[in-house]
Amino acid sequence: MLIIVSGAPGTGKTTLAHALSHSLGFPVISRDEIRFGLVHSGAPDEGSLTTYQTFQDIVRLMVAREVTVIAEAAFQDHLWRPMLGLGPTRIIRCVTTASLALDRRVDRAALPGTPVSVDDWVPISSPAPTMIVDTADGYSPSFGEIAAFAGGHTDLHEP
């Protein structure tokens, strides 16, 4: 299964993805972590194209090998639609207030470029089961409910 953790920059995607990985035992493939590696190694990555291609290649390979993965990235609809046909998919969309997202981004700004704002970010439009998670003050719904959804053990929360 492919578990997509999406949301605008600063909405808590990476934190939630790694918590789910720890709880469920599935590996996390993080677009930002791939980008960090490329930037810090000095590899060319014009327009983040190498990051994008590498991320998709790794996720596709893992899913083709029948490994359930947690794919974590901003996943704007128009950029990430090709990922949706890989097999059974669950989408977790992180949301928070614009001011909190901005504070979180400022605290960890380490990559070149300007991330998309909460207001300009376009969520994935998909019939795949989707859960909206508010990360402004912990998790709502609860982490247990999120983990059950991601693991395929609960009723679906449609967007």
The whole-angstrom separation of Cα 147 and Cα 41 is 34
Give the model confidence (pLDDT) of 55-104 as tens digits. 889 999 999 999 999 999 877 666 667 777 788 889 999 999 888 877 77
Residues in the chain, overall count: 159
CA distances from 84 to 9, 71, 95, 151 (A): 20, 11, 20, 17
Give the model confidence (pLDDT) of 17-27 as tens digits. 999 999 999 99
φ, ψ (nearest 5 deg) of residue 30: -110, 120
Q: Which two tokens stand for residue 101?
A: 């997202």
Element (H, E) at 116: none
- Residue 139: what pLDDT? 96
* Amino acid making up residue 150: A
- Residue 129: what pLDDT? 92
User: 156, 126, 132, 143: which is closest to 11 by C-alpha?
Assistant: 132
* Domains of the chain: residue spans and CATH: 2-150 (3.40.50.300)
More confident residue, 82 or 150: 150
Strands, DSSP E only, in the chain? 2-7, 28-30, 69-72, 89-95, 130-134
